[in-house]
Structure 1
């Protein structure tokens, strides 16, 4: 068994696609219209056949209170691995990305938390070793 897909719940798929590709650097893999929404996935350019991130519409009534509670408590919805958290933080900050947590060294892991502009906090992390 392996992970093939994972999702992030987004308020606006087109806005999310721009942010996740143009800012974070992912690559669009699938974009299939499904009624009012789309089956929209992105992948890492380093692993184009790897795990796909679904930019999932957040129209279900349970989603907004869930996302609002996570953001209010400062809890990231998901995490992405980076080689250098401080360098990625600076790159993204220079692109106008808002961070709720600056790079923080926690021993074997360094993390930072950003706002994805689509209702989520996302952690970037590097594990030493």
Structure 2
């Protein structure tokens, strides 16, 4: 498991980082689970944030903070634009649409957010 391997790596460092940003939510969940096995408290000892905002982030303990890249919304809009282009037999220029990712804050990063608002850690 990539998340467990990453947790082992971070745990083996002389100084663990304050936070880990995982490539996706499943890796973040693996990190959190392995940290628990190692006795590392999330978010008190290390904050964890994933990417995707998938459904599994809310059924773990602690719940995982995640960056929502709005995959479903992107897919829905892409499908609508493609169908419109096909129906209208359009040869016009392509539209440029930009989506802004959103951080969904949950329990796995709450301590980090609190401490950063109070200044640097001791």
Tell me the TM-score normalized by structure 2. 0.24
* Structure with more of its chain in helix, by fraction: 2
Structure with max Cα Rg: 2
